[in-house]
Amino acid sequence: MTSASIKLAHGSGGRLSNALIHDLFFPAFNNPILNQAHDGALLTMHSRQLAFSSDSFVVKPYFFPGGNIGELAVNGTVNDLAMCGAIPQFLSVAFILEEGFPMNHLKAIVKSMAAAAQHAQVQIVTGDTKVVERGAADGVFINTSGIGIINHQQKISPNNAQAGDVIITNGYIGDHGIAILSQREGLFFETTIQSDTAALHTLVASILTASANVRVLRDPTRGGVAGVLNEIALASQVEIRLDEVAIPMRDSVRAACDLLGLDPLIIANEGKLITIVPKADSAAVLQAMQLHPLGKESAIIGRVLNNNPGKVTLETRIGSLRLVEMPLGEQLPRIC
Amino acid sequence: MMNQNLNIAAFNSREIVSRLAEDIKSLSADMAPLKLMHICGGHENAIVRHALRQFLPAHIQVIAGPGCPVCICPVEAIDEAITLAQQPNTTVLTFGDILRVPATKTSLEEVRAKGGRVKVVYSPVDAIKIAQQEPQQTFVFFSVGFETTAAGIAGLIRSGVPENLFFLIANRYIPPVLKLLMDVHDESLQGFLLAGHAGTITGLEVYDFMRDEYRLPCAAAGFEPVDILLAIRKLLTLIKNNQHDVINCYRRVMKNTGNKIGQQCLSEVFALEPGTWRGIGAVDNSAYQLKDKYAHLDARKQFNCKPSYPPQSFHPGCLCHRVMLGEVEPQDCKLFKKVCTPGKPFGPCMVSAEGTCHVRYNYSEIKINLS
């Protein structure tokens, strides 16, 4: 690692995050479960298949259009478990609070966490609270960890994509990131864009029912669709080719991205998933997703090729081709 | 005037693009290698985002010139804005993309982080509202941009502003810089794509000197893929026929005579003087300055905004100045993508969404078979 100190980009989900994970954490904690490099760990205990995952939330502002840090923290870990193909069961919640944090804000956050947990049918069964002096944190940070049960035999992994497969997403991309950005100081513009934060495990269940050969499941949070697909392309050593016209995107998100000079493909999502399935199963999976409330706008957005292994490419609406690079990502710190 | 019934999708049509690409290919088949330059960050953004260069034969290059107003904004002006933001009871209002541009010692963003009063506005009209809300505070609108932005500011000033609102003007006028570009580049540069939105204000007559003095064709272009390819095809046709006209290829928005009201506002409020372009140097008749009758609004005349240190435009090793002139590509700069990123820009071209380095950072083309 070349950096002498931690930069915001080390937490961005982009290239520097990857470097930190692969150069520092993996060698230090080295074990076969960690080395799966999945959204969560896949464990076998007493012949039960389990998934275990952890995630911390530092989003700024902590109340944003369409949600708050609390429900994001519940849905985030539920989704990490769901991307392992697990049914989420139990969560832990740890708060780091800054001295002076308004009690009514905490109450509102906790209330929405309880509602999100109920909606996702998970129980919050343990937790922790730490308070740090004023200035040592920014209001509220939340960590959630979770355990889920795996009830199927499918081998779902980012290194599983194969030429001929198709890439499907469950709807409009970029909503969460633009909802957050619209609230940030200096980037305030009139918008009705709401965060898409949602628990995706029942949608995953529909996908797993529709196909017995699901190759990849990922949620494109930090680093967006571009970040996740680049990871998959690298891990599977395939080319992923997106079709610009097919990618579902709200006009308002497109306009905001134009205004801010951002590529919608790098914008964070909190209620979206990417699944890669064999072409033969794609129609059934797409139909199952479109029948789910969180998948009405599901679409096939690309395909897996062998031409340029490790690369993500985009066929533009006018028929040209460009690279979609792994975002460095530090442009948008604290998006989740 | 914009035709409201226009089908904008046609300007993104795959079929029309491919037909234009075919035309360009056959038109240029027997032409010697040549360069066309655009002078608009919006054009570079569109060209790279849509990977339009893939539709051009290898011997027809479209290069980026000094078309990003944030990039060419002289460092001296940002230093002045920074000096003002550090003065008591003074707030600098500006557009967002200048905030992070590195100046001699710091940026407006860093000054704001350290407690300096800098506020981002999305329209100069907001500046009036903000100034009215806090009459005891002094507000300075730091105005950066080309003709289109300058016209808006001129209109605002002409219609009257609150007593506590002043202007630090760093607007620049594009046409004279073409003369300088003609001196820098050799004869391989054979035409210019003009920025459609700037032309919407000034019209095309202000570029007639290109035809009369330099005998080089120019075409004003819009910002969709078809707009740009239409203008390229037109330029190639002109070059091939040894014609040197200044042509409007953006008729759906732009009139040849421009916008008369905008022009009146500009000439009433501003005079054109020699002015510095960052990375390029002094360009005659290219800097908008408030006329004497508006001296009471001129921050430079009303306040001491000269910093105590001499200006330094570029970080050592930064090639922004040569990128802006179209002499090198961002990839030729050793800092590009390695240490210079949109998160930590070393030079102005990496800051603005229209800066050539920022655009190339976000999007790269891939040279492979489309099959």
Residue bearing the bigger pLDDT, B236 or A325: B236
Q: Which residue does chain A place closest to B354, by CA atoms?
A: A261
**Chain B residues within 8 A of A330 when measuring between CB atoms:** 341-344
Over residues A268-304, the pLDDT tens digits come to: 999 999 999 999 999 999 999 999 999 999 999 999 9
Interface of B to A at Cβ within 8 Å reads: 12-14, 17-18, 45, 48-52, 54-55, 96-97, 99, 119-120, 122, 225, 341-344, 352-354, 358, 362-366, 368, 370
pLDDT above 60 (res B5): no
**8 A C-beta contact, residue A14 and residue A223:** yes
Residue bearing the bigger pLDDT, A336 or B331: B331
DSSP-assigned letters across all residues of A15-50:
HHHHHHIIIIIHHHH--TTGGG--SSEEEEETTEEE
Give the pLDDT of residue A250.
Answer: 93
For chains A and B, what is the number of CB pairs under 8 angstroms?
78
What is the 8-class DSSP label of residue B257?
Answer: T
**Chain A residues within 8 A of B45 when measuring between CB atoms:** 261
**8 A C-beta contact, residue A218 and residue A232:** yes
Residue bearing the bigger pLDDT, B187 or B368: B187
- The average pLDDT across B126-143 equals 95
Tokens of A310: 């490790």
Which residue of B45, B96, B366 is in closest CB contact with A323?
Answer: B366
Give the pLDDT of residue A187.
Answer: 56
pLDDT above 80 (res B331): yes
pLDDT above 50 (res B2): no
Residues 6+ apart with CB under 8 A from A319: B14, B17, B18, B370
Over residues B268-305, the pLDDT tens digits come to: 999 999 999 998 889 999 999 999 999 999 999 999 99
**Chain A residues within 8 A of B343 when measuring between CB atoms:** 8-9, 328, 330-331
Q: Identify how many contiguous H helices and E strands chain B contains and give both numbers.
A: 15, 12
Over residues A99-128, the pLDDT tens digits come to: 999 999 999 999 999 999 999 999 999 999
Which residue of B13, B50, B366 is in closest CB contact with A313?
Answer: B366
Q: State whether residue A132 is helix, strand or coil.
A: strand
Which residue of A261, A311, A319 is in closest CB contact with B14?
Answer: A319
Name the pLDDT band for A1 (thresholds 50, 70, 90).
very low
Interior angle at CA A139, CA A223 and CA B95, nearest 5: 60
Name the pLDDT band for A172 (thresholds 50, 70, 90).
very high
DSSP-assigned letters across all residues of A82-107:
HHTT-EEEEEEEEEEEETT--HHHHH
**Chain A residues within 8 A of B12 when measuring between CB atoms:** 317-318
- Residue B18 CA to residue B21 CA, distance in Å, equals 5
pTM comes to: 0.82
Residues 6+ apart with CB under 8 A from B20: B55, B226, B229, B230, B233
- Residue A68 CA to residue A188 CA, distance in Å, equals 18
* Angle, helix B124-133 to helix B147-158, in steps of 10 degrees: 40
- The average pLDDT across B32-40 equals 95
- Residue of B91, B366, B367 to mutate, testing the A interface (most A Cβ within 10 Å of its Cβ): B366
Percent of chain B residues past pLDDT 70, beyond the cut: 96
**A111 interfaces chain B, CB cutoff of 8 Å:** no
Backbone angles phi, psi at A136, to 5 degrees: -85, -10
Give the pLDDT of residue B369.
Answer: 45
Other CB atoms within 10 Å distance of the CB of residue B43 = 28
- Longest Cα–Cα distance of chain A, Å, equals 57
Give the pLDDT of residue A35.
Answer: 84
Interior angle at CA B41, CA B16 and CA B272, nearest 5: 125
**3-class SS string, A185-201:** CCCCCCCCCCCCCCCCH
Element (H, E) at A144: strand A140-149
Tell me the shortest Cα–Cα distance from B117 to chain A, in angstroms: 12
Residue bearing the bigger pLDDT, A195 or A36: A195
Residue bearing the bigger pLDDT, A214 or A187: A214
Contact A323 B50 (CB under 8 A): no
Contact A263 B362 (CB under 8 A): yes
Which residue of B12, B54, B120 is in closest CB contact with A317?
Answer: B12
**Token pair 């102005």: residue:** B348
A212: closest CA among A271, A128, A263, A152? Answer: A152
pLDDT above 60 (res B317): yes
**Chain A residues within 8 A of B55 when measuring between CB atoms:** 320
pLDDT above 90 (res B364): no
Residues 6+ apart with CB under 8 A from A279: A164, A165, A166, A303
**8 A C-beta contact, residue B321 and residue B330:** no
Range of weakest confidence among A65-74, A164-173, B357-366: B357-366
Tell me the shortest Cα–Cα distance from B75 to chain A, in angstroms: 22
pLDDT above 50 (res A156): yes
Which residue of A319, A325, A330 is in closest CB contact with B17?
Answer: A319
**Considering chain B, what is the average pLDDT of its residues?**
91
Contact A316 B342 (CB under 8 A): no
Contact B364 A325 (CB under 8 A): yes
- The average pLDDT across A318-332 equals 78
pLDDT above 80 (res A213): yes
Beta bridge partners of residue A6, listed in sequence order: none
Name the pLDDT band for B365 (thresholds 50, 70, 90).
low
Tokens of B207: 């570029």
**A321 interfaces chain B, CB cutoff of 8 Å:** yes
Tell me the shortest Cα–Cα distance from A30 to chain B, in angstroms: 29
- The average pLDDT across B212-219 equals 96
Q: Which residue does chain A place closest to B109, by CA atoms?
A: A186
